[in-house]
Amino acid sequence: MARPEPSAVEGPAAGRGIGEVLQVLQAEFADVTISKIRFLEAEGLVTPARTASGYRKFSPADVDRLRYVLTAQRDRYLPLKVIKEHLAAIDRGLRPAPAGPPVAPDSLPEPPGLPVAEDFSADGTELRLTREELRAAADVPAELLDQVEGHGLVVARGNHYDGEALLVAKLVGEFARYGIEPRHLRPFRTAADREAGLIEQVTGPRRTEQTEELAALAVRLHAALVRSRLPR
């Protein structure tokens, strides 16, 4: 797992010092020491920020990460190599499996009924799946996934696929059970591109609260229009 470069921060609000972290962790792990925390940092399992003076500052996420490592060692006797693999999977939004490769979460945020603005808000967590992980999690054959990508319904972000790609692939798989092929779904992609473009014209390229409200309205309007055209 690549270690991000720690940022320089100042002030007590930036995080806990290593002594404070030690006190927090010793409530659960009596044998933990400052040397142990420094060793886990050297192994790349946690990367606290540094002040301009070089002091470590641990965020709440850093403390949770240390707690995960110490729990995995104490309760499951996992070696550091396996723990590092688990953390790398968690960083990609995956769920480490007791045996075998990590898997995607059991459920994805798919709002029931008509969506509201909150359903489009960014929660800071994003899946990063390989193509094979995407195929397995969506439970679709490789040939169908080839067609999904070929028609632009799913697009990789860099070298990975996110949670939206997984949801789309799953839904296309459901359509396929009714004999509807990915090529038949291109109008949905075209409509989505146009709707997103219209919203961006109004709100600009940055995601804002207004972006989320307009996205919810767009999907509600789309659903109403589809319903209005179905046989009574």
Same domain assignment for residues 135 and 223: yes
Does the structure show a pLDDT above 90 at 66?
yes
- Residue range 50-61: mean pLDDT, rounded: 91
Same domain assignment for residues 217 and 167: yes
Cβ pair 210, 117 in contact under 8 A: no
42 by Cβ neighbours in 10 Å (0-12 / 13-18 / 19+) ranks as exposed
Inside any domain, residue 1: no
Inside any domain, residue 2: no
For residue range 27-41, what is the model confidence (pLDDT) as tens digits?
Answer: 999 999 999 999 999
User: What integer pLDDT is reported at residue 2 of this predicted model?
Assistant: 38
Same domain assignment for residues 83 and 136: no
Q: Which of 40, 74, 91 is the last residue of a domain?
A: 91
Same domain assignment for residues 123 and 23: no
Domains held by the chain: number:
2
Q: How many CB atoms are located within 10 Å of the residue 100 CB?
A: 7
Same domain assignment for residues 83 and 39: yes
User: What integer pLDDT is reported at residue 8 of this predicted model?
Assistant: 44
Name the residue with tokens 């920020």: 49
User: What integer pLDDT is reported at residue 63 of this predicted model?
Assistant: 95
Inside any domain, residue 97: no
Instruction: Provide the 8-state DSSP code for 143.
Output: H
Same domain assignment for residues 69 and 170: no
Quote the mean pLDDT of the chain: 84
Q: State the distance between the two ends of the chain, measured CA to CA, in whole angstroms.
A: 56
Same domain assignment for residues 147 and 215: yes
Same domain assignment for residues 159 and 202: yes
Same domain assignment for residues 87 and 121: no
Same domain assignment for residues 149 and 184: yes
> 110: pLDDT confidence band, cut at 50, 70 and 90?
low
For residue range 111-156, what is the model confidence (pLDDT) as tens digits?
Answer: 545 556 566 665 555 788 899 989 988 999 999 999 999 999 999 9
Same domain assignment for residues 49 and 127: no
Does the structure show a pLDDT above 80 at 104?
no
Inside any domain, residue 152: yes
Same domain assignment for residues 164 and 224: yes
CATH code: domain of residue 83:
1.10.1660.10
Structural domain including 173 reads 117-228
Inside any domain, residue 112: no
Inside any domain, residue 145: yes
CATH code: domain of residue 194:
1.10.1660
- Residue range 177-196: mean pLDDT, rounded: 93
Inside any domain, residue 141: yes
User: What integer pLDDT is reported at residue 76 of this predicted model?
Assistant: 86
CA separation for the pair 97, 111 (Å, rounded): 26
Inside any domain, residue 25: yes
Does the structure show a pLDDT above 80 at 201?
yes
